[in-house]
Amino acid sequence: MGLFNAFKRKGIDQWVEEYRKTPGAVLLDVRSIEEYQEGHIPESKNIPVHQIEKVASAVSDKNTMLYVYCHSGARSGTATSSLKRMGYINSVNIGGIISYSGKVVR
At 28, is the secondary structure helix, strand, or coil? strand
Contacts of 5 (CB under 8 A, 6+ apart): none
Model confidence at 1, pLDDT cuts 50, 70, 90, reads very low
Characterize the bridge pairing of strands 91-96 and 45-46: unpaired
Residue 82 lies in a domain: yes
Domain with 76, as residue range(s), is 10-99
Give the total number of structural domains in the chain: 1
Please write the tens of the pLDDT for every residue from 37-49.
999 999 999 999 9
| Catalytic status, residue 70 | yes
Residue 17, domain CATH: 3.40.250.10
Please write the tens of the pLDDT for every residue from 84-99.
999 999 999 999 999 9
**What span, in angstroms and rounded, lies between the C-alpha atoms of 23 and 101?**
23
Residue 3 lies in a domain: no
Residue 1 lies in a domain: no
Model confidence at 82, pLDDT cuts 50, 70, 90, reads very high
Residue 85 lies in a domain: yes
Contacts of 33 (CB under 8 A, 6+ apart): 46, 48
> Of 52, 70, 94, 97, which one is the catalytic site residue?
70
